[in-house]
Amino acid sequence: SLISNGYTMCAAEVNGNSHVDFSKLSRHIIALGNEGAGLSKEILSLAQIRFRIPFNSSNVESLNVAVSGAIAMFAGANNTGW
């Protein structure tokens, strides 16, 4: 599996950590679920990191999976966090 080959599973979750530093991860997998159901319990159980993308909830109720994916991939590819 990817995890046994040194990848870190990072799962987007509404109750996840809002402070993620991707620069400490050399190889990672970003798992995203749909807005209604989120990720399955099986995927969440594999996640070594659970994160959420912070945003101003007074202006935005939620982010769709495409937007969330773009933000997470940008942060991961640029070894940044939020």
> Is the sign of the CA dihedral 48, 3, 27, 34 positive or negative?
negative
The reported pLDDT for the residue numbered 43 is 95
> Is the sign of the CA dihedral 61, 38, 12, 28 positive or negative?
negative
The reported pLDDT for the residue numbered 80 is 65
The reported pLDDT for the residue numbered 82 is 59
The reported pLDDT for the residue numbered 35 is 78
The reported pLDDT for the residue numbered 74 is 87
Low-confidence ranges of the chain (pLDDT < 50): none
